[in-house]
Structure 1
Amino acid sequence: MKQSVCSQASESETTIKAIDDFLLDFMTLVFVVESGEEEFQGSVRKLARLKLKKLKRIATILA
């Protein structure tokens, strides 16, 4: 079944938003790690894994 143009646009916006959120969080986490705050590394890794899982779910839904 073909998706409507509106549905595809909505999915694209959702994907773009998720990617933007991931990149912003990732850049923030890189800054924290590079600044030498070693006690944040566990939290940084956990957040990065969660964001990647979210992107994978969105990509799977859109595929």
Structure 2
Amino acid sequence: MAEVIAVAFDAAALAVIAAEIAVIVQLVITAAEPIAAQASAPSLWASPNSARPAPPRRRA
């Protein structure tokens, strides 16, 4: 009888560990989403090396 209870507790412990790993993976994904969104968003600040259109030419 004790062995059956021990096996049940071992199975429950494995289920808890699997759930913990799933939560950690979800937290990492959730933490990475804003970083990816920030990296893919267009910059609101023009860098000094950004391409600017040429000024219009004056007619002579």
TM-score grouping bracket, smaller chain normalisation: 0.5 to 0.7
Matched residue, 1:12: 9
Cα distance, 1:7 vs. partner?
A: 0.6
Q: Match for residue 22 of structure 1?
A: 19
Give unpaired runs (5+ residues) of structure 1.
38-63
> Counting helix residues as a fraction of each chain, which structure ranks higher?
1
Match of 2:29 among 29, 32, 37: 32
Give the % identical residues. 6
Runs of 4+ in 1 over 6 A off after TM superposition: none
State the TM-score, normalized to the length of structure 2: 0.53
Larger radius of gyration: 2
How many residue pairs end up in the alignment? 34
Which whole-Å CA distance do the structure 2 matches of 1:31 and 1:9 have between them?
A: 33
